[in-house]
Amino acid sequence: MKGLFIIFFTSLFYFTVLNLSTAADTLAASQSIVSSDTLVSSSQSFELGLFSTGNSRAWYLGIWYRNFPDIVVWVANRENPLADSYGAMMLSKNGSLVLLDQMNGTIWSSSPSKEAEDPVAQLLETGNLVVVDKAVTSSESYIWQSFEFPSDTLLPGMRLRLNFKTGPNQFLTSWKNASDPSLGLYTYKIDHLVLPQLVLAQGSKKEFRSGPWNGLRFTGLPVSSNEILKPSYVYNTNELYYIYEANDNSIITRLKLTETGEMQRLVLNKGSTEWGVMYTLQNDRCDNYGECGANSICKINRTPICECLQGFVPKSQQEWEVLNRTSGCKRETLLDCQQGEGFLKFQNMKLPDLLDFSVNNSMSFKECEAECLKNCSCVAYAKSNMSSGGIGCLMWFGELIDMREFVDEVSDQDLYIRMPASELGNSTSQKDKRVVLISVISAASVLLFLGLLCRCIVLNKRAKRKVSRSSKEDIELPLFDFHTIEIGTNYFSWQNKLGEGGFGPVYKANLRKEELVAVKRLSRGSGQGLEEFRNEVTMIANLQHRNLVKLLGCCIEGEERMLIYEYMPNKSLDFFIFDQNRKKLLNWQKRFDIIMGIARGLLYLHQDSRLRIIHRDLKSSNILLDRDLIPKISDFGIARIFEHDQTEGKTKRVIGTHGYMSPEYTIDGKFSVKSDVFSFGVLLLEIVSSRKNTGFNQPDHNHNLLGHAWLLWNNNKGLELIDPCLEYSYVDNEVLRCIQVGLLCVQKLPTDRPAMSSAVFMLCNEGATLPEPKEPGFFTERSSIDNKTLTGGARSHTGLTLTISTLEAR
């Protein structure tokens, strides 16, 4: 009896508030649609209402093609279905759409960007459900729209978007199965901030990627799709998004991510009753991500389909013989940056994945080739922009992953891969003759060049000066005139000041030909002096890595000591992650890229550089970000050189930054590669959480950030550490792996911490088995006094009192 009363009351309520024809496309404030009532777009293309699927008893609010009711393109309450068909969607007076069950409980509601005075909801002919405020006359008056919350279908005019300011990121998520529209295993989204590409993934594992946008299209998508589609992407300070429109009005098209992880382009000729599959992104085995491993090309018309690049051989011949090619290929002859190296052209290519790369959109194609050739780490290059005359340079460093050759259509995308001289001479006899001729001409040119160079050295010898006479080897750098720097910095004006560190203030300067540089000026009151100045010059002049800041020169006049660096337009990492608004500009993928960049730079310092460097002051303010947000480790003033057989150093003058220094360095003055690893671990946890280790406060305990992360990890609540602003961009397993690596790096004992090579491996490999972290350093709750004096001088840690002669906090 009670149930009948509820149904009767609910039906009476619906009848009272409903004043709507099922053919209407609009819904006014306080109106509702219930049960079988629907909204229908003006030209009858789309319909909105309640539906159920398959054998499921659950009901959902969604949008479908009116002539194809089984093709649902949007679902509102994916994770919270109605138990039955007794539901109602109504528009509140403030402009919020609300889905109610028969007990008037809220099942789902929209979140309008602002409250409306006179709201109305409308289902547009595009399939977009929008809420507008009739009291606002602006054409951009949507206060909410379903297009900002895609399900598994991308319609024309809908965006895949990275939103840098407000609102959610937009990407497709598959249904769980054909009868359950809740979130499935697969996503399809924009993968890269600097050079966008589309990626289909299962969790954090890439299944397919489109290849980077080249100004006209995504390099790995079929060229034929452009016959009916007009794709484009927009990149500005607010957002980056991909969008497409149909070129032919007689064709209806949609992009669907299936529950089995297939991305299908479907088309329908107007008047037809059957949809056709124009293409599936995973159309053949070569579309599978990394099918042939590194440095190998997938050729679908060959048997076998995987082929090592010229000059490369399988890493595991045994695996290749049993048709397992995922281990990829390695160079038969290693590159040594010697004269004679050049490039082989590979046509109609899907460009390699953007794992370790750089892009310069203002560089010509010839300049791109020259830049790659002079950079010993550059292994391949291509045009980054095929529009506007092909201006733009894309270069790869490291292994080349996920390449394929297109054979049935011309993609106009060429890739140039670096080869040793021996491989360039193996192509054809004609090419041999050409190489000999070029060699003769080159030899003559080199002799002429050397003569001119000697002349230039004599003329410019006065313009260079040895800046480190106390070091084991003299290093020469371009010497900048003080007056030139003074003018370039507008006489060191505060408007040009970028910041200040232990060395002194840093200024932006415009020295020549509109070239911006950063000038670090040694302050007379600086805690550092000439020793640190010479140390930094000695260190960084010998280091070359894309994740280390580049030293351009110095200035020595009287008591003035200045270092001139490449200018970093995006300042430092702490400028972003610790600011409530700017941190939203760094989504999870970009943060992960920054983490990997820092890790690779630190690995180079510890293992791969000619000098083995211990940085000793790795922190967020010393991670600079270039125009493309690529991280650069900076500030080598207190760094130390180790002999390659040296494992540890000791000092009585402990210089560093509270919160980043390891226990053994803070307490005993001992430093090693493991003290840098500790700093990296702190930095990693700060990047994940957007919170500082120093000054960290939590209501339920007095631990620092490291202790807080450790407590969450032990309680299986690791994901609670992540910054809430990353909610729509992160992948659970990837974040948890980063947190676990961070905790491994900040373990109390140096012997327990991984080397940077192991840290990089664990971060890069989803399948790697990671050990459980032990207790972090300084895992002791602070007293209230400690909290207030956290940034003060020497104090006790974990029951021990510092006995170092000097401790300088920076």
CA-to-CA dists, residue 585 to 193, 500, 577, 581, 685, angstroms: 10, 24, 9, 8, 18
CB 244 within 8 A of CB 161: no
Active site residues per annotation: 617
Which residues, other chains included, contact 804 with Cβ-Cβ below 8 Å and sequence gap of 6+?
A: 652, 653, 654, 667, 668, 669, 794
Q: Which of 288, 331, 290, 324 is nearest to 308 (CA)?
A: 331
**Residue-by-residue DSSP string for 23-48:** T--EEETT-EEETT--EE-TTSSEEE
Output the six-digit token pair for 183: 């979130």
As a whole number of angstroms, the distance between CA 269 and CA 271 comes to: 6
Output the six-digit token pair for 749: 């004992």
Output the six-digit token pair for 116: 């409306």
- Cis peptide, bond prior to residue 304, ω within 30 of zero: yes
The amino acid at residue 617 is: D
E strands present in 435-528: 464-466, 476-478, 497-500, 505-512, 515-521
Q: Which of 73, 28, 83, 18 is nearest to 47 (CA)?
A: 73
Q: Distance from first CA to last CA of the chain, Å, rounded? A: 75
| Backbone φ and ψ of 10, nearest 5° | -65, -45
Query: What length is written for the chain?
Result: 810
Q: Can you tell me which residue has the tokens 């509601």?
A: 109
Q: Tell me how many degrees the CA angle 120-126-129 measures, rounded to the nearest 5.
A: 30
As a whole number of angstroms, the distance between CA 202 and CA 208 comes to: 10
As a whole number of angstroms, the distance between CA 684 and CA 745 comes to: 9
**Residue-by-residue DSSP string for 84-115:** SS--EEEE-TTS-EEEE-TT--EEEE---SS-
Output the six-digit token pair for 113: 């960007």
As a whole number of angstroms, the distance between CA 687 and CA 578 comes to: 9
Rg of the chain (C-alpha set): 31
806-809 vs 653-656, strand pairing mode: parallel
As a whole number of angstroms, the distance between CA 595 and CA 589 comes to: 10
CA-to-CA dists, residue 482 to 459, 478, 526, angstroms: 20, 13, 19
Q: Name residue 458's beta-bridge partners.
A: none
Output the six-digit token pair for 229: 């589609």
Which residues, other chains included, contact 417 with Cβ-Cβ below 8 Å and sequence gap of 6+?
A: 309, 343, 344, 346, 379, 380, 400
CB 395 within 8 A of CB 351: no
